[in-house]
Amino acid sequence: MNLRNSYLSHFVDLLFPRLCQACKASLVGTEELICTNCLFDLPYTNFHQQADNIVARQFWGKIPLQYAYALLYFEKGGKVQHLIHQFKYKDMPKIGDRLGQIAGEQLLQVAALTDVDHIIPVPLHRSRLRERGYNQSTHFANGLAQRLQATVLDRTLIRTVRTSTQTRKSRFDRYLNMQEVFALNAPELLHNKHILLVDDIVTTGSTLEACAHELLAVPGLRLSIATIAYAL
């Protein structure tokens, strides 16, 4: 960037300040979406260093997984909640791509994920997709794919029923709400593949579990899970 463009960039930032989507501090220089302080201080789980982490244990005895992971801890009122709210509801899908890239850097260190063939996002119902304009899980998947050199399949797993929100539901009600909600297109393309199933937040795991049951019906399919955050 030459001196003139640098002055122009600073002038534009004064008129239309770019803000960190986690803490709302002003971004400076080459910072994008998330400031340098937040990138260092976000509550990372480091689950990529622990195969028997909390997310993995949540699915023990329910579905057979190769690996399970979440990038961040989610706490009400915290930076991660604000970041995901901006991502999902304020038309900022690039946040998902960025978080996917960060997660992908960590997951490159996981031996169990070196042979992932495809990344499949938890789908939105088509009516909700029209309302929002994008699937937040697809953007997270795209960021992961850049690092893991895997293909994103965002039309293979489909949501056939528009369910009510899972927020404020009990664990059992969340489970019931997810019954017979998902289906597969062209499952033969997944035979003997290692699939990474991704979502934004894991709480009780009922949504991921329902998706997993559909996927694991495919012959020879091996399944891993990755999410942006684990809700405390």
The structural domains of the chain, with segments of one domain joined by +, span: 1-41, 42-231
- Position 17 scores a pLDDT of 78
Tokens of 231: 């809700």
CB atoms within 10 A of CB 4: 8
For residue 32 the two structure tokens come to: 């994008």
- Averaged over successive runs of 10 residues, the pLDDT of the chain (232 residues) comes to 51 66 91 95 96 96 97 95 93 96 97 96 92 95 96 95 62 55 93 98 93 96 98 90
Task: Select from 3.40.50.2020, 3.30.390.10, 3.40.50.261, 3.30.420.10 the CATH code of 42-231.
Answer: 3.40.50.2020
Write down the pLDDT at residue 3: 47
In a 10 Å sphere around its CB, with 0-12 CB exposed, 13-18 middle and 19+ buried, how is residue 170 labelled?
exposed
Q: Taking the model in full, what pTM does it have? A: 0.86
